[in-house]
Protein backbone atom coordinates (compact mmCIF):
# COMPACT_ATOMS: atom_id res chain seq x y z
CA UNK A 1 0.00 0.00 0.00
CA UNK A 2 1.25 3.47 -0.93
CA UNK A 3 0.94 6.44 1.41
CA UNK A 4 4.13 8.45 0.87
CA UNK A 5 5.32 9.25 -2.64
CA UNK A 6 8.62 10.94 -3.44
CA UNK A 7 9.02 12.98 -6.60
CA UNK A 8 12.47 13.86 -7.90
CA UNK A 9 12.22 16.92 -10.11
CA UNK A 10 10.08 19.96 -9.31
CA UNK A 11 9.62 21.42 -12.76
CA UNK A 12 6.15 22.00 -14.17
CA UNK A 13 5.44 18.28 -14.71
CA UNK A 14 6.85 17.12 -11.38
CA UNK A 15 4.83 19.78 -9.55
CA UNK A 16 1.66 18.86 -11.42
CA UNK A 17 2.15 15.22 -10.50
CA UNK A 18 2.63 16.26 -6.89
CA UNK A 19 -0.75 18.00 -7.02
CA UNK A 20 -2.65 15.17 -8.64
CA UNK A 21 -1.13 12.48 -6.41
CA UNK A 22 -1.80 14.54 -3.28
CA UNK A 23 -5.43 14.82 -4.38
CA UNK A 24 -5.45 11.03 -4.69
CA UNK A 25 -4.72 10.83 -0.96
CA UNK A 26 -0.95 10.39 -0.86
CA UNK A 27 1.63 12.26 1.21
CA UNK A 28 4.04 13.99 -1.16
CA UNK A 29 7.73 14.88 -0.87
CA UNK A 30 8.78 16.95 -3.88
CA UNK A 31 12.54 17.24 -4.41
CA UNK A 32 13.78 20.33 -6.23
CA UNK A 33 17.25 21.27 -7.40
CA UNK A 34 16.83 24.97 -6.64
CA UNK A 35 16.44 26.35 -3.11
CA UNK A 36 14.23 29.16 -4.45
CA UNK A 37 11.77 26.58 -5.79
CA UNK A 38 11.67 24.80 -2.42
CA UNK A 39 10.98 28.08 -0.62
CA UNK A 40 8.29 29.05 -3.11
CA UNK A 41 6.47 25.73 -2.63
CA UNK A 42 6.81 25.48 1.17
CA UNK A 43 6.19 29.14 2.04
CA UNK A 44 3.95 30.52 -0.71
CA UNK A 45 2.46 27.20 -1.89
CA UNK A 46 3.18 27.92 -5.53
CA UNK A 47 6.01 26.90 -7.82
CA UNK A 48 6.82 30.39 -8.99
CA UNK A 49 9.79 29.50 -11.24
CA UNK A 50 8.12 26.64 -13.15
CA UNK A 51 4.34 26.60 -12.63
CA UNK A 52 3.26 30.13 -11.72
CA UNK A 53 -0.36 30.90 -11.05
CA UNK A 54 -1.30 27.47 -9.67
CA UNK A 55 -1.98 27.27 -5.95
CA UNK A 56 -0.56 24.09 -4.37
CA UNK A 57 -1.95 22.24 -1.38
CA UNK A 58 0.00 23.25 1.76
CA UNK A 59 0.45 19.55 2.54
CA UNK A 60 2.89 19.20 -0.37
CA UNK A 61 6.37 19.34 1.13
CA UNK A 62 9.43 20.28 -0.91
CA UNK A 63 13.13 19.74 -0.22
CA UNK A 64 16.49 19.79 -1.98
CA UNK A 65 17.45 16.56 -0.18
CA UNK A 66 17.30 13.45 -2.38
CA UNK A 67 17.25 11.10 0.60
CA UNK A 68 14.02 12.65 1.85
CA UNK A 69 12.40 11.99 -1.51
CA UNK A 70 13.60 8.38 -1.75
CA UNK A 71 12.41 7.61 1.79
CA UNK A 72 9.00 6.73 0.37
CA UNK A 73 6.75 3.91 -0.80
CA UNK A 74 7.38 4.84 -4.45
CA UNK A 75 9.53 7.44 -6.21
CA UNK A 76 8.68 9.31 -9.40
CA UNK A 77 11.60 10.37 -11.61
CA UNK A 78 10.73 13.63 -13.35
CA UNK A 79 14.15 15.06 -14.20
CA UNK A 80 15.22 16.06 -17.73
CA UNK A 81 16.20 12.96 -19.70
CA UNK A 82 19.83 13.93 -20.17
CA UNK A 83 20.29 14.37 -16.39
CA UNK A 84 18.53 11.19 -15.30
CA UNK A 85 21.66 9.02 -15.07
CA UNK A 86 23.49 11.47 -12.82
CA UNK A 87 20.43 11.96 -10.59
CA UNK A 88 19.91 8.20 -10.19
CA UNK A 89 23.56 7.66 -9.34
CA UNK A 90 23.37 10.36 -6.68
CA UNK A 91 20.08 9.03 -5.26
CA UNK A 92 21.09 5.34 -5.24
CA UNK A 93 22.78 5.12 -1.79
CA UNK A 94 19.65 6.21 0.11
CA UNK A 95 17.11 4.37 -2.05
CA UNK A 96 15.88 0.98 -0.77
CA UNK A 97 15.72 -1.82 -3.32
CA UNK A 98 12.05 -2.52 -2.63
CA UNK A 99 10.93 1.04 -3.43
CA UNK A 100 9.81 1.21 -7.07
CA UNK A 101 10.99 3.84 -9.53
CA UNK A 102 8.27 5.35 -11.73
CA UNK A 103 9.82 6.98 -14.80
CA UNK A 104 7.95 10.11 -15.87
CA UNK A 105 10.76 11.51 -18.03
CA UNK A 106 10.36 11.42 -21.82
CA UNK A 107 13.47 11.07 -23.93
CA UNK A 108 16.37 8.90 -25.05
CA UNK A 109 19.85 9.39 -23.63
CA UNK A 110 22.33 11.02 -25.97
CA UNK A 111 25.42 9.08 -27.08
CA UNK A 112 24.32 5.79 -25.47
CA UNK A 113 20.84 5.90 -27.11
CA UNK A 114 19.52 4.25 -23.95
CA UNK A 115 15.86 4.36 -23.00
CA UNK A 116 15.15 5.84 -19.58
CA UNK A 117 14.32 2.36 -18.26
CA UNK A 118 17.75 1.18 -19.40
CA UNK A 119 19.36 4.11 -17.58
CA UNK A 120 17.45 3.24 -14.40
CA UNK A 121 18.32 -0.46 -14.72
CA UNK A 122 22.01 0.42 -15.02
CA UNK A 123 22.11 2.90 -12.14
CA UNK A 124 19.48 1.47 -9.79
CA UNK A 125 19.76 -2.30 -10.29
CA UNK A 126 17.17 -4.50 -8.59
CA UNK A 127 14.66 -1.64 -8.37
CA UNK A 128 11.11 -2.43 -9.54
CA UNK A 129 10.14 0.10 -12.18
CA UNK A 130 7.25 1.45 -14.22
CA UNK A 131 6.78 4.16 -16.85
CA UNK A 132 4.08 6.83 -16.73
CA UNK A 133 3.38 8.46 -20.09
CA UNK A 134 0.60 9.92 -22.18
CA UNK A 135 -0.96 13.15 -23.48
CA UNK A 136 -0.46 15.64 -20.67
CA UNK A 137 0.05 19.36 -20.38
CA UNK A 138 1.30 20.05 -16.87
CA UNK A 139 -0.85 23.13 -16.37
CA UNK A 140 -4.05 21.20 -17.13
CA UNK A 141 -3.14 18.35 -14.76
CA UNK A 142 -2.32 20.87 -12.02
CA UNK A 143 -5.72 22.51 -12.51
CA UNK A 144 -7.43 19.12 -12.15
CA UNK A 145 -8.73 19.00 -15.71
CA UNK A 146 -9.62 15.51 -17.03
CA UNK A 147 -6.53 13.58 -18.19
CA UNK A 148 -5.82 9.97 -19.20
CA UNK A 149 -2.37 8.37 -19.12
CA UNK A 150 -0.76 4.96 -19.48
CA UNK A 151 1.23 3.23 -16.74
CA UNK A 152 3.53 0.59 -18.23
CA UNK A 153 4.98 -2.05 -15.93
CA UNK A 154 6.40 -5.52 -16.59
CA UNK A 155 5.22 -6.65 -13.15
CA UNK A 156 1.44 -6.97 -13.40
CA UNK A 157 0.88 -7.03 -9.63
CA UNK A 158 2.98 -3.90 -9.07
CA UNK A 159 1.29 -2.17 -11.99
CA UNK A 160 -2.13 -2.77 -10.45
CA UNK A 161 -1.02 -1.40 -7.08
CA UNK A 162 0.51 1.73 -8.59
CA UNK A 163 -2.50 2.30 -10.81
CA UNK A 164 -4.91 2.08 -7.89
CA UNK A 165 -3.05 4.54 -5.67
CA UNK A 166 -2.14 7.05 -8.38
CA UNK A 167 -5.55 7.17 -10.07
CA UNK A 168 -7.97 9.93 -9.14
CA UNK A 169 -11.28 11.33 -10.37
CA UNK A 170 -9.77 13.48 -13.12
CA UNK A 171 -6.51 11.58 -13.63
CA UNK A 172 -7.42 8.25 -15.19
CA UNK A 173 -4.71 5.60 -15.52
CA UNK A 174 -4.70 2.72 -17.98
CA UNK A 175 -2.30 -0.14 -17.33
CA UNK A 176 0.10 -1.52 -19.95
CA UNK A 177 2.78 -4.19 -20.01
CA UNK A 178 4.79 -2.48 -22.76
CA UNK A 179 7.54 -0.46 -21.07
CA UNK A 180 9.49 0.00 -24.32
CA UNK A 181 6.52 1.25 -26.33
CA UNK A 182 5.53 3.77 -23.67
CA UNK A 183 9.00 5.30 -23.85
CA UNK A 184 9.47 5.30 -27.63
CA UNK A 185 6.21 7.17 -28.08
CA UNK A 186 7.13 9.82 -25.53
CA UNK A 187 10.55 10.42 -27.07
CA UNK A 188 9.68 10.46 -30.77
CA UNK A 189 6.60 12.68 -30.42
CA UNK A 190 8.75 15.55 -29.14
CA UNK A 191 10.86 15.49 -32.30
CA UNK A 192 7.82 15.32 -34.58
CA UNK A 193 6.28 18.21 -32.64
CA UNK A 194 9.26 20.40 -33.53
CA UNK A 195 8.71 19.53 -37.20
CA UNK A 196 5.03 20.42 -36.92
CA UNK A 197 5.92 23.69 -35.24
CA UNK A 198 8.30 24.55 -38.09
CA UNK A 199 5.47 23.91 -40.57
CA UNK A 200 3.22 26.24 -38.57
CA UNK A 201 5.93 28.89 -38.33
CA UNK A 202 6.54 28.71 -42.07
CA UNK A 203 2.81 28.99 -42.79
CA UNK A 204 2.70 25.75 -44.78
CA UNK A 205 -0.86 24.86 -43.80
CA UNK A 206 -2.84 22.17 -42.02
CA UNK A 207 -2.46 19.63 -44.83
CA UNK A 208 1.29 19.61 -44.29
CA UNK A 209 0.94 19.30 -40.53
CA UNK A 210 -1.50 16.41 -40.86
CA UNK A 211 0.92 14.65 -43.20
CA UNK A 212 3.77 15.13 -40.71
CA UNK A 213 1.72 13.75 -37.82
CA UNK A 214 0.67 10.70 -39.82
CA UNK A 215 4.09 9.94 -41.26
CA UNK A 216 5.66 10.78 -37.90
CA UNK A 217 3.46 8.11 -36.33
CA UNK A 218 4.76 5.66 -38.95
CA UNK A 219 8.34 6.49 -37.91
CA UNK A 220 7.39 6.05 -34.25
CA UNK A 221 5.87 2.63 -34.89
CA UNK A 222 8.78 1.43 -37.05
CA UNK A 223 11.33 2.45 -34.44
CA UNK A 224 9.27 1.07 -31.56
CA UNK A 225 8.71 -2.32 -33.15
CA UNK A 226 12.42 -2.61 -34.00
CA UNK A 227 13.22 -1.89 -30.34
CA UNK A 228 10.71 -4.48 -29.11
CA UNK A 229 7.54 -2.44 -28.59
CA UNK A 230 4.04 -3.57 -29.43
CA UNK A 231 2.56 -1.59 -32.35
CA UNK A 232 -0.80 -1.22 -30.56
CA UNK A 233 0.93 0.65 -27.72
CA UNK A 234 2.03 3.31 -30.17
CA UNK A 235 -1.55 3.74 -31.33
CA UNK A 236 -2.59 4.41 -27.74
CA UNK A 237 -2.21 7.14 -25.14
CA UNK A 238 1.59 7.09 -24.93
CA UNK A 239 1.97 7.10 -28.72
CA UNK A 240 -0.72 8.61 -30.93
CA UNK A 241 -2.41 10.33 -27.99
CA UNK A 242 0.73 12.15 -26.91
CA UNK A 243 1.71 12.87 -30.51
CA UNK A 244 -1.53 14.63 -31.41
CA UNK A 245 -1.57 16.71 -28.23
CA UNK A 246 2.01 17.87 -28.69
CA UNK A 247 1.72 18.68 -32.39
CA UNK A 248 -1.29 20.98 -32.22
CA UNK A 249 -0.81 23.40 -29.34
CA UNK A 250 1.41 26.29 -28.35
CA UNK A 251 1.28 24.89 -24.80
CA UNK A 252 3.78 22.32 -26.09
CA UNK A 253 7.35 23.46 -25.50
CA UNK A 254 8.53 21.46 -28.51
CA UNK A 255 5.82 22.68 -30.89
CA UNK A 256 6.29 26.31 -29.84
CA UNK A 257 10.06 25.97 -30.27
CA UNK A 258 9.47 24.68 -33.80
CA UNK A 259 7.16 27.62 -34.53
CA UNK A 260 9.90 30.03 -33.48
CA UNK A 261 12.44 28.20 -35.66
CA UNK A 262 10.03 28.28 -38.60
CA UNK A 263 9.69 32.03 -38.20
CA UNK A 264 13.45 32.42 -38.46
CA UNK A 265 14.51 32.73 -34.83
CA UNK A 266 17.89 31.24 -33.93
CA UNK A 267 17.85 28.12 -31.76
CA UNK A 268 20.33 29.44 -29.19
CA UNK A 269 18.23 32.56 -28.70
CA UNK A 270 15.06 30.48 -28.22
CA UNK A 271 16.75 28.30 -25.61
CA UNK A 272 18.25 31.29 -23.79
CA UNK A 273 14.79 32.76 -23.31
CA UNK A 274 13.34 29.57 -21.78
CA UNK A 275 13.51 28.16 -18.28
CA UNK A 276 11.90 24.80 -19.08
CA UNK A 277 13.48 22.10 -21.23
CA UNK A 278 12.17 21.21 -24.70
CA UNK A 279 13.21 17.55 -24.73
CA UNK A 280 12.89 17.25 -28.51
CA UNK A 281 16.01 19.38 -28.97
CA UNK A 282 18.06 16.70 -27.22
CA UNK A 283 16.04 13.70 -28.36
CA UNK A 284 16.50 14.53 -32.05
CA UNK A 285 20.05 13.19 -32.12
CA UNK A 286 19.15 10.29 -29.80
CA UNK A 287 16.15 9.14 -31.83
CA UNK A 288 18.05 9.29 -35.10
CA UNK A 289 21.08 7.61 -33.55
CA UNK A 290 18.97 4.75 -32.20
CA UNK A 291 17.25 4.43 -35.59
CA UNK A 292 20.64 4.09 -37.31
CA UNK A 293 21.66 1.39 -34.83
CA UNK A 294 18.47 -0.53 -35.54
CA UNK A 295 18.57 0.05 -39.32
CA UNK A 296 15.29 2.02 -39.37
CA UNK A 297 14.43 4.96 -41.63
CA UNK A 298 13.12 8.06 -39.82
CA UNK A 299 13.34 10.84 -42.44
CA UNK A 300 11.27 13.41 -40.51
CA UNK A 301 13.34 12.95 -37.37
CA UNK A 302 16.49 13.08 -39.49
CA UNK A 303 15.39 16.40 -40.96
CA UNK A 304 14.69 17.87 -37.51
CA UNK A 305 18.05 16.64 -36.24
CA UNK A 306 19.79 18.27 -39.20
CA UNK A 307 18.12 21.61 -38.47
CA UNK A 308 18.76 21.39 -34.70
CA UNK A 309 22.27 19.95 -34.58
CA UNK A 310 23.84 20.60 -37.97
CA UNK A 311 22.54 24.10 -38.72
CA UNK A 312 20.60 22.64 -41.62
CA UNK A 313 18.53 24.95 -43.77
CA UNK A 314 14.83 24.54 -43.07
CA UNK A 315 13.63 25.08 -46.63
CA UNK A 316 16.23 22.63 -47.96
CA UNK A 317 15.13 20.01 -45.43
CA UNK A 318 11.48 20.46 -46.44
CA UNK A 319 12.40 20.14 -50.11
CA UNK A 320 14.39 16.98 -49.48
CA UNK A 321 11.51 15.39 -47.58
CA UNK A 322 9.09 16.16 -50.41
CA UNK A 323 11.46 14.80 -53.07
CA UNK A 324 12.04 11.41 -51.45
CA UNK A 325 11.37 8.39 -53.72
CA UNK A 326 7.71 7.45 -54.01
CA UNK A 327 6.66 4.36 -52.03
CA UNK A 328 3.70 2.42 -50.68
CA UNK A 329 2.14 4.08 -47.64
CA UNK A 330 2.40 1.05 -45.37
CA UNK A 331 6.06 0.30 -46.08
Q: What is the pLDDT of residues 147-190, one digit of tens each?
A: 999 999 999 999 999 999 999 999 999 999 999 999 999 999 99
Is residue 330 included in any domain, yes or no?
Answer: no
Range of the domain at 70: 4-177
CATH number, position 139 = 3.40.50.720
> Last residue of a domain, which of 112, 145, 177?
177
Is residue 270 included in any domain, yes or no?
Answer: yes
The residues assigned a catalytic role are 189
Is residue 307 included in any domain, yes or no?
Answer: yes
Instruction: Lowest mean pLDDT of 86-90, 135-139, 325-329, name the range.
Output: 325-329
Mark whether 14 and 116 lie in a shared domain: yes
CA distances for 36 relative to 33, 43, 44, 49, 317, angstroms: 9, 10, 11, 8, 42
Mark whether 80 and 201 lie in a shared domain: no
Q: How many domains does the chain have?
A: 2
DSSP single-letter state for residue 241: I
Buried b (16+ CB within 10 A) or exposed e, 226-262: ebebbeebbbbbbbbbbbebbbbeeebbbbbbbbbbb
pTM of the entire structure?
0.95
DSSP single-letter state for residue 200: H
Mark whether 210 and 268 lie in a shared domain: yes
Is pLDDT at 1 greater than 60 in this prediction? no
Amino acid sequence: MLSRIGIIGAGAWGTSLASVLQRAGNDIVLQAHEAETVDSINVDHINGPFLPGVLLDPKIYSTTNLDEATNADAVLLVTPAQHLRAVCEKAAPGWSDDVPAIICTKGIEQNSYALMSEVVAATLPRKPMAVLSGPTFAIEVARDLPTAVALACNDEALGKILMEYMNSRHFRIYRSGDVVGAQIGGAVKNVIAIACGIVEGRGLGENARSALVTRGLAEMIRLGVAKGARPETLSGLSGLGDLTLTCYSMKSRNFSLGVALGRGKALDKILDERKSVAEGVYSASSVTGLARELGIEVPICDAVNDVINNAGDIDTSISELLSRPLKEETK
